[in-house]
Amino acid sequence: MPDWNTHVKWASTLGIDREIAEFINKLIDDPEEVLKGDPTELGELYRRDPEGVKAALIGHDWGRKGKARLDILKTYCRIRFGEKGVMAAELHHVLDYLTHIRSPENLARIIVSSSIFHATSGKPLSERMKLIKEFYRDRRDYSRYLKKLTEEIAKLNYESYKNIIIELLKNKTREWELHREVYDFVIDNLNEILKDIDKYLAKKRKRIARSQSINTLDKWIGN
pLDDT of residue 150: 92
For residue 41, which phi and psi values (nearest 5 degrees)?
-60, -35
Q: Domain locations in the chain?
A: 1-100+181-199
N residues, the chain: 223
9/5 Cα distance (integer angstroms):
6
For residue 123, which phi and psi values (nearest 5 degrees)?
-85, 155
207/97 Cα distance (integer angstroms):
22
176/125 Cα distance (integer angstroms):
23
pLDDT of residue 223: 43
Question: Could you report the average pLDDT of every consecutive run of 10 residues in the chain (223 residues)?
Answer: 92 97 91 74 72 66 74 87 96 95 91 67 70 65 83 92 92 93 97 95 83 53 46
pLDDT of residue 88: 97
pLDDT of residue 189: 98
Which residue, 18, 52, 22, 46, is CA-closest to 32? 46
pTM: 0.81
